[in-house]
Amino acid sequence: MKTQNYDVINDPGAVPIKLWTRGVPLEDEARRQLQNIAKLPFIHRWISVMPDVHLGKGATVGSVVPTIGAIVPAAVGVDIGCGMIAARTTLTANDLPDNLTEIRSAIEKAVPHGRTVGARDKGAWANPPEATVEGWASLQDGFDRIVARHPKLKRSNHLHHLGTLGTGNHFVEVCLDEENRVWFMLHSGSRGVGNAIGSHFIELAKQDMRRWMINLPDQDLAYLPEGSDHYADYVFAVDWAQRFARNNREIMMKHVVEAVRKVIAKPFDAQAEAVNCHHNYVNREHHFGKDVLVTRKGAVSARKGEMGIIPGSMGAKSFIVRGLGNEDSFHSCSHGAGRVMSRTEARRRISVEEHAKATAHVECRKDADVVDESPAAYKSIDAVMAAQSDLVEIVHTLRQVVCVKG
């Protein structure tokens, strides 16, 4: 008999909520947000909740929301297609220089990152390189189709953000696995254009709810019913943004490899093992006899045998995993450690000195602008992994030695 590794919330007038949260904290606000989502009339079977769960905008980060006949744009969010890419190289720890500052500097120069300062957008290309121009060529027709229906999206930042990192919890890392082999890993999504698409359709859904006088437990749960004016446009646009995000990560990985090759003279292969996975996205899948739209907001697909990436916080371990195909979770697992502090609270509670101590083993920024990403702001990645032992198996354990933050 299969052991049940999750807890269940059952509320009147709502679908069940299955939670893989044993041994990790679940904030009251996140619980209430999940209970609101569970009241929507088009949820298929139940909502699955991953151990890195925490409060989000509209929908809870770390939730898996299967729907039939409607989609909630805020459940997908505005960082559409955000996810991870990792590649094992043929280098080992002995091939890295004693001082890793040069590698960090080379990556920072190769991958635009950070915020707009004055008139300069540090996180965008001034002159897009060849890989970006080629990548955009494969996306141009789809974007033109979106803009033809939604002209206000034309001015969104797209070409100049393709192959760039962004800010917040996005990062590029050099890691070592359990055999001291070198990996490159990075985290980013669809950047400015994905944000514009997400924000635009969230507002259109809210307008529809007001026009149809549909009362919701939270206005951010506004949805687009199948067959409505904007449903097909959104499904097409979100799929396009997810392709943009995947290409974005591939281009950055190419530039990271080229940057490190300028520092390390020894020839190396950078595709010994490779994984590229979304964790903020929607996908058409078949579960429990029905074709459904599965929205994973801060969750990774974990079909049986499927490879995925679960990063820890800045300075903590990360994992390359293999899915176990657990149907109760709609074949999903967590996308990371999950926050225990808001960014504001982290900046108030974590000092630069504490952050520097927690990341002493990593070549990374150790200033006030990144303390909200310090390990103390996140749940224990070990506890998160223990809570989902029936969702994935660990293939590689990675530890960071270089981390580039936006």
Q: Is 37 left (phi over 0), alpha (psi -120 to 50) or beta?
A: alpha
Kindly state the tokens that stand for 11. Answer: 């509320």
DSSP output for 355-403? HHHHTTTSBS--SGGGGGGSGGGB--HHHHHHHTTTTEEEEEEEEEEEE
Other Cβ atoms less than 10 A from the Cβ of 338: the count is 26
**Which residue among 335, 355, 361, 396 is the active-site one?**
335
Active site residue 335: yes
Rounded to a whole number of angstroms, the distance between the first and last alpha carbons of the chain is 47
**Cα R_g (the chain), whole angstroms:** 21
| 8-state DSSP, 152 | G
User: Do 233 and 113 touch, CB atoms closer than 8 A?
Assistant: no
d(CA 197, CA 205) in angstroms, rounded, equals 12
Cβ atoms within 10 Å of 30's Cβ, excluding its own? 21
Are the C-beta atoms of 318 and 310 separated by less than 8 Å?
yes
Q: Which residues form the catalytic set?
A: 335
